[in-house]
């Protein structure tokens, strides 16, 4: 959270890059491979990342208002991060409103939705997850992490330890990518979501979710702890 705060001019510049990147993503979905469009899309992703990282303090500030209301604080922050990502996608710089004003509304909305879900369905503090197995990171991460055939007590214990070891590696990713990986592969205590489900929930395009997922997997393969697990 040491990323410097943005001034109004920087917010507008980033918003324009994000807007151009989203349009490039849309064109890539219809036209296919295009180096120029891919460069614009990549620049848009970098701008999104900058906007998100520069506003993580805002998530913490809003989340503190909703502590001790039925969810662990870490879950409140994660819901707030979802709201921040949605705010980045919906921000209209042409209205002359500072991003923090827009983001606060989206962050609060996402946190309140999370609290409402918690009241409807009581989530245990340490949810029981499917047994975990790891063969190679050349497989899909879902195949790497989840093996429904693992049944012995020793295997279950071993694979829960594997799961707990992998989470810190996922947390080394950029906040947006870590959130997507947790959602995609059920690392947040919920059932794994499809790319389209993740895209819908975060207000992104499936193409962008796939791109970030691939970048994240490439990064995870280079992490020493993941390499040791896969070995």
Q: What is the pLDDT of residue 123?
A: 43
Q: What is the pLDDT of residue 163?
A: 55
Q: Per the structure block, which two tokens stand in for 155?
A: 């295997």
What is the 3-state secondary structure of the chain? CCCCCCCHHHHHHHHHHHHHHHHHHHHHHHHCCCHHHHHHHHHHHHHHHHHHHCCHHHHHHHHHCCCCCCCCHHHHHHHHHHHHHHHHHHCCHHHCCCHHHHHHHHHHHHHHHHHHHHHHCCCCCCCCCCCECCCCCCCCHHHHHECCCCCCHHHHHHHHHHHHHHHHHHCCCCHHHHHHHHHHCCCCCCCCCCHHHHHHHHCCCHHHHHHHHHHHHHHHHCCHHHHHHHC
> 129-231 — its CATH code?
1.10.10.10
Enumerate the β-bridge partners of residue 132: 146
Q: What is the pLDDT of residue 16?
A: 92
What is the C-alpha separation between 180 and 186, in angstroms, rounded? 10
Q: What is the pLDDT of residue 62?
A: 93
Tallying the residues shown for the chain, one arrives at: 231
Q: What is the pLDDT of residue 121?
A: 52
What is the C-alpha separation between 206 and 193, in angstroms, rounded? 12
pLDDT tens for the chain, residues 1 to 231: 567 788 889 999 999 999 898 888 888 877 778 888 889 988 998 998 899 989 999 999 999 998 888 788 888 888 898 889 888 888 888 888 889 888 999 999 889 888 887 776 554 444 444 433 333 444 445 544 444 444 444 444 444 444 555 677 777 777 778 888 888 877 777 778 888 888 888 877 788 888 888 888 877 777 665 545 444
């Amino acid at each position: 959270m040491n990323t410097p705060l943005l001034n109004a001019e920087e917010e507008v510049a980033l918003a324009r890059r994000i807007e151009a990147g989203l349009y490039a993503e849309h064109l890539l979905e219809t036209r296919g491979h295009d180096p120029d469009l891919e460069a614009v899309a990549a620049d848009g992703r970098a701008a999104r990342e900058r906007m998100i990282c520069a506003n993580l303090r805002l998530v913490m500030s809003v989340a503190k208002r909703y502590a001790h209301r039925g969810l662990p604080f870490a879950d409140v922050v994660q819901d707030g991060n979802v709201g921040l990502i949605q705010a980045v996608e919906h921000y209209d710089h042409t209205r002359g409103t500072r991003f923090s004003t827009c983001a606060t509304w989206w962050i609060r909305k996402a946190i309140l939705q999370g609290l409402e879900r918690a009241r409807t369905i009581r989530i245990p503090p340490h949810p029981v997850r499917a047994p975990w197995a790891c063969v190679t990171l050349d497989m899909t991460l879902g195949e790497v992490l989840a093996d429904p055939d693992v049944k012995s007590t020793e295997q279950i214990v071993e694979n829960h330890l594997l799961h707990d070891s992998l989470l810190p590696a996922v947390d080394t990713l950029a906040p947006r990518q870590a959130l997507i990986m947790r959602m995609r592969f059920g690392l947040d205590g919920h059932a794994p979501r499809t790319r389209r489900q993740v895209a819908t929930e975060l207000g992104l395009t499936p193409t962008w979710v796939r791109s970030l997922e691939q970048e994240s997997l490439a990064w995870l393969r280079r992490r020493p702890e993941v390499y040791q697990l896969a070995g």
